[in-house]
Structure 1
Amino acid sequence: MSLTRWELLLSFCKKGCKSGLLAGVLWGLLFLFFTSPLIWEAEAYEETGNHHHIQETLHSRAHGEGRFDLIGNIKQQIVPTVLGCTLLGGAFGIIISLFLGLGFSFGFFTRNFFESPIRSATLTGLISFLIFHGIPSVSNPPELPGVIGSEESFTSRQYWWIQSIVCSIMGVLIYLIISSKESGRIVKVFGLLLGIFIALLPFLSGTGAEAVNSVVPPELRSRFVYYSLTINFIFWLCLTIQFFLRLAKDKTIDSYQILNEEIVIQ
């Protein structure tokens, strides 16, 4: 049985989509129970702007008497939050599977890369996290409601986020292109340094100004950044581990051979 390159990509995409959807469910639940309460608490700070008043609000919330009822908010937001994260997870799964599928079919990734699923999944998950969340958060960390000036700088921060992702992806691609062939160690090191330089180009043009004036306590903002980044990393790790284990389970990756422009399953 023979598969064309497009059929190979379709097989990768199916595995990536399934892995992304399942990882997205976990992603949404973690966001709902860990970061959403921090957002609701920050919104309460934003509306009141008074520490004493906020304590009364949180106390009434805990007893189910306040406007911001924790249990009620969770019940109200569970469907849109989990559904949105699930769909986004499926999209991310397709993107990462396309990247790996194209890289494998064009010879940028060898079969040896897929022989250690846990190691390769951890590396892929870490790089994906850094591209989409880690590196952009250096300049634009996740923000809670109540930060003064955040709405005015939203457009510039989004532009910098997109610019950072594009440069990071280009850096990875350039490294793969330079180091994929039978190149020496010096060439591979040069490709790595060049890729890192390209990924960091947005920082050379300046980072977006972070709004620091906020009615929200710094401790709450720090917890939100920590929880958000940790949950995002867990999502990527869950997605990539599932994907590589699916590839290892059917064992077809071990039988792929590139012959002209076809992939032949022996």
Structure 2
Amino acid sequence: MLKRIAQTAGFAGLLAALLLTLLQSLWVTPLILEAETYESAEPVAEHSHAPGAVAHEHHHDADAWAPEDGAQRILFTGLSNLVVAVGFALMLAGLYSLRAPGRIWQGLLWGLAGFATFSLAPAIGLPPELPGTAAAELLLRQYWWVGTAATTAAGLALLAFGGQWWLRLLGLLLLPLPHMVGAPQPEVHESLVPTALSQHFIVTSLLVNALFWAALGLISAWLFGRGQRVS
């Protein structure tokens, strides 16, 4: 079983990471590069849009290392995607060992549940951000993201596998809980990039993540089922 989980996670993570890197290179990276032109055009900008609001400054460290555009950037993006994809694939394969999908298409449902848990639900309060966008304190956002993912996962699990009505009701109540608490927000909402570009980036990022999770779910379900038949 451990060997099947490792093989499923390794191959599914690799294929899904390649797809994610390709989609990001075609759709997401151009938007980031465009946003960086706005950011670099105004290296230090102070904004105050409300009386008494605390001014925010955008600082840009010229000595900070970043991968060069082109092959180097794609390589480092692909490596980070591989680590993340294999980790998520390990999670799915581990869940399959407890409740294996009977059909390959059921892997799509697992993948979409992963997308809802780790991408869609957190994006409701903390949407994907382009460079040059003001944000709340990083630690607070990380706490809220983890809490939202955990609550969404528990809610979806109770809705899908809760044997009694009150368990499913509890799952339904858990889903909006982190959004009722609210995600941490900056004191002043500001961005150096146009609103249309930010909205385009949010939609594109969510679409890319949805395709990634759909592929990861389908591939992992197929590989896990294939390993089960071989054994």
TM-score past 0.5 threshold: yes
Structure 2: which amino acid aligns with 1:25?
A: L
List, as ranges, runs of 4+ consecutive aligned residues in structure 1 with deviation greater than 4 Å: none
Q: C-alpha displacement at 1:175, in angstroms?
A: 4.2
Find out whether 1:161 has 2:154 as its counterpart: no
Residue 204 of structure 1 corresponds to: 180
Task: Kindly report which structure 2 residues correspond to 1:1-266, keeping only aligned pairs within 5 A, or say none.
Answer: 8-49=1-42, 73-101=69-97, 103-104=98-99, 114-118=101-105, 120-147=106-133, 149-150=134-135, 152-175=136-159, 178-179=162-163, 187=164, 189-209=165-185, 212-250=189-227, 252=229
Q: Secondary structure at the match of 1:156?
A: helix
- TM-score of the aligned structures, taking structure 2 as reference length: 0.80
Distance across 2 between alignment mates of 1:233 and 1:9: 28
Distance across 1 between alignment mates of 2:199 and 2:31: 11
Distance across 2 between alignment mates of 1:32 and 1:84: 14
Contact 1:15 1:243 (C-alpha < 8 Å) held by counterparts: yes
Q: Secondary structure at the match of 1:127?
A: helix
- Of all paired residues, the percent bearing the same amino acid is 27
Distance across 2 between alignment mates of 1:230 and 1:97: 23
Distance across 2 between alignment mates of 1:196 and 1:21: 34
Q: C-alpha displacement at 1:169, in angstroms?
A: 2.2
Distance across 2 between alignment mates of 1:172 and 1:11: 26
Q: C-alpha displacement at 1:17, in angstroms?
A: 2.5
Structure 1: which amino acid aligns with 2:27?
A: F
Contact 2:93 2:224 (C-alpha < 8 Å) held by counterparts: no
Q: C-alpha displacement at 1:177, in angstroms?
A: 5.6
Distance across 1 between alignment mates of 2:226 and 2:137: 47
For the pair shown, the structure with the greater C-alpha radius of gyration is 1
- Number of residues of Structure 1 aligned to a counterpart in Structure 2: 206
Contact 1:13 1:93 (C-alpha < 8 Å) held by counterparts: no
Q: C-alpha displacement at 1:249, in angstroms?
A: 3.4
Distance across 2 between alignment mates of 1:30 and 1:244: 22
Structure 1: which amino acid aligns with 2:13?
A: G
Give the CA RMSD over aligned residues. Answer: 2.3
Residues 89-135 of structure 1, C-alpha deviation per residue, up to 9 Å, x if partnerless? 1111011111221x23xxxx6xxxx33211x1221111110000000
Distance across 2 between alignment mates of 1:76 and 1:32: 12
Deviates more, 1:92-101 or 1:190-199: 190-199
Unaligned runs of 5+ in 1: 1-7, 51-71, 180-186, 254-264
Distance across 2 between alignment mates of 1:75 and 1:172: 39
Distance across 2 between alignment mates of 1:176 and 1:233: 20
Q: From the superposition, tell whether residues 30 and 177 of structure 1 become closer, same or farther in structure 2 (CA, over 3 Å).
A: closer
Residues 193-212 of structure 1, C-alpha deviation per residue, up to 9 Å, x if partnerless? 21122233212322222663
Q: C-alpha displacement at 1:11, in angstroms?
A: 1.4
Distance across 1 between alignment mates of 2:6 and 2:167: 28
Contact 2:5 2:94 (C-alpha < 8 Å) held by counterparts: yes
Structure 2: which amino acid aligns with 1:127?
A: A
- TM-score of the aligned structures, taking structure 1 as reference length: 0.70
Contact 2:4 2:224 (C-alpha < 8 Å) held by counterparts: no
Distance across 1 between alignment mates of 2:161 and 2:109: 18
